[in-house]
């Protein structure tokens, strides 16, 4: 097979995952939340349990009027939703689904690339907030910037811990070096990474930049139609990305209880959806953190724990 054709097929596979996995997670969120809260929700679209409701919502967004505020910076306003989506698409290109060639673009510095690209998300928040010419949007954007910049530090430190343990920045190399006993000594790093990841994608209880009871809908207040749908899609893709990174870095990726490498992709997907379920569960279970509580958790709890985990990792590596 020519190299260009193989590259096209790999990118096409990532695009399919980029468009389908967030829809599956979004539909699962609606149904899981409905069951947890004792309510039915929409049950008609598509027939069985309203499985096509999310598709119907997408069609509705396409049909809605695309409104741009008169005082807005139009170019920046319209570009922000795309900036929110593209980093997650790039991250999916380097996340290994299984051993061997089951990754769109293997990189020796895959972890460095992922952490660098995920950090671009703050630009979309600031762009949408500033360009909207709305004080509620601007306040939400400033909250979002402070949150994303703060939680970037424990996220990177936790990822550095597992990279140091594996001795490589390659995501595939980290999975290959992973051993089940890492679930114990890397457990603090996993919790830190997971919590910081939730804050990075602004999921409840870390949704203070949106805070609909205070800021209408934060930096997304002025968005309508398809552009608003792009922001929602970015949120669900963010769930997939954080769940996939947690799986690859801390849960062994494609490694399962059986030695059959052919089923590696299945173990990866099962772990990703299990972590995504926990993300949905937390949204239903915990109230939103206040801004001071959110920053206190970052700087007084997660950062010191992440530094302590790095010291533990160095000690264990020297003792091995």
Confidence class of residue 48 from pLDDT cuts 50, 70 and 90? confident
Structure confidence at residue 52 as a pLDDT band (50, 70, 90) = confident
Mean of per-residue pLDDT scores for the chain: 86
Q: How far is CA 7 from the centre of its chain?
A: 25
The pLDDT of 267-288, averaged and rounded, is: 90
Q: What is the pLDDT of residue 260?
A: 63
User: Is residue 320 predicted with pLDDT exceeding 80?
Assistant: no
Local structure of residue 45 (DSSP, 8 states): T
- Determine the Cα–Cα distance for residues 161 and 158; give it in Å rounded to an integer: 5
pLDDT tens digit sequence for 80-124: 988 888 899 889 888 988 787 777 677 888 899 999 998 888 888
Per residue in 138-169, is it b (16+ CB within 10 Å) or e — as a string? bbbbbbbbbbbebbbbbbbbbbbbbbbbbebb
pLDDT of 291 above 80: yes
Label residue 162 by pLDDT band (50, 70, 90): very high
36, pLDDT greater than 90: no
Whole-angstrom distance, CA of residue 105 vs CA of residue 15: 13
Q: Within 13 Å and on the Cβ side, how many CA atoms surround 301?
A: 12
Cα–Cα distance list, 96 to 114, 168, 183, 268 (Å): 12, 15, 20, 9
| 173-221 confidence digits (pLDDT tens) | 899 888 888 888 899 999 999 999 999 988 888 888 887 777 777 788 8
Whether 259 has a pLDDT exceeding 70, the answer reads no
Domain ranges in the chain are 3-319
19 vs 5: CA distance, rounded Å: 21
pLDDT for 154 beyond 90: yes
Summarize pLDDT for 226-241 with one digit per residue, the tens: 888 888 888 899 999 9
Sort 135 into a burial class: Cβ within 10 Å, 0-12 / 13-18 / 19+.
exposed
């Amino acid at each position: 097979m020519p190299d260009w054709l193989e590259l096209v097929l790999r990118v096409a596979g990532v695009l399919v995952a980029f468009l389908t996995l967030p829809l599956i997670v979004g539909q699962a969120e609606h149904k899981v939340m409905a069951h947890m809260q004792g309510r039915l929700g929409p049950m008609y679209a598509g027939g069985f349990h309203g499985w096509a409701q999310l598709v119907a919502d997408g069609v509705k967004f396409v049909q809605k009027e695309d409104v741009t505020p008169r005082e807005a910076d139009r170019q920046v306003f319209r570009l922000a939703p795309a900036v929110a989506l593209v980093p997650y698409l790039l991250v999916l290109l380097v996340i290994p689904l299984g051993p061997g060639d089951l990754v769109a673009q293997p990189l020796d510095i895959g972890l460095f690339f992922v952490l660098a690209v995920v950090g671009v998300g703050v630009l979309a928040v600031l762009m949408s907030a500033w360009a909207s010419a709305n004080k509620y949007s601007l306040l939400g954007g400033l909250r979002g910037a402070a949150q994303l910049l703060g939680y970037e530090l424990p996220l990177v430190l936790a990822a550095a811990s597992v990279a140091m343990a594996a001795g490589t920045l390659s995501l595939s190399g980290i999975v290959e070096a992973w051993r089940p006993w890492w679930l114990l000594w890397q457990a603090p790093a996993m919790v830190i990474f997971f919590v910081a990841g939730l804050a990075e994608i602004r999921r409840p209880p870390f949704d203070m930049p949106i805070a609909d009871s205070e800021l209408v809908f934060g930096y997304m207040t002025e968005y309508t139609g398809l552009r608003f749908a792009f922001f929602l899609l970015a949120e669900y893709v963010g769930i997939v990305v954080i769940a996939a990174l947690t799986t690859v870095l801390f849960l062994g990726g494609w490694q399962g209880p059986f030695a059959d490498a052919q089923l590696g992709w299945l173990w990866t997907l099962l772990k990703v959806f299990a972590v995504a379920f926990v993300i949905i569960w937390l949204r239903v279970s915990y109230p939103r953190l206040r801004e001071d509580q959110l920053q206190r958790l970052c700087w007084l709890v997660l950062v010191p724990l992440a530094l302590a985990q790095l010291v533990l990792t160095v000690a264990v590596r020297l003792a091995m």
